[in-house]
Amino acid sequence: MRRDIEIRKKITFFFIIGICLMGFAVVTPDPGHHRGLGIVQGARETIYAHPLDWEAAWCSIKIILFSLGLGLLIESLGTFFMRREYTLLGFFVHLMHILPALGLLAGGFYFIKSLI
């Protein structure tokens, strides 16, 4: 019984933190010369000849935060389904962790690209 309560608290905690991270990434304003573009497009527009592009770095950080939030939401939803004994559905939801992993890789790449 105690383990069930701990798992339920972790599911709720991951869900709330995931929503907060995704909300922060979406609600915070876009940087100066990338205004009106998506965060991915803002991060992609940096070039290697222009080091320390802080606007593109901010877009990259937003991609990383959004991916972390998505990963936490997927984790909480997959664990919820596993707890409800929908193991196949929970397994497929946990397989969706590849999406935030790709987002973290892309955000990290664009972050390094914007600083070099």
Per residue in 19-63, pLDDT (tens digit) is: 999 999 989 887 766 566 677 777 787 776 778 888 888 889 999
Structure tokens at 78: 């997959």
Entry pTM: 0.87
Instruction: Answer yes or no: are the C-beta atoms of 115 and 86 closer than 8 Å.
Output: no
Q: 């990434």: which residue's tokens?
A: 25
* pLDDT greater than 90 at residue 70: yes
CA within 13 Å, CB half, 89:
10
Nearest to 30 by CA among 41, 18, 46: 41
**What mean pLDDT is predicted for residues 72-88?**
93
In 3-state terms, what secondary structure has residue 61?
helix
Q: Which domain holds residue 12?
A: 2-31+38-115
Q: How many domains does the chain have?
A: 1
Instruction: Answer yes or no: are the C-beta atoms of 43 and 58 closer than 8 Å.
Output: no
Q: 């990338």: which residue's tokens?
A: 34
The torsion defined by the Cα of 93, 95, 100 and 104, in degrees rounded to 10, comes to 160
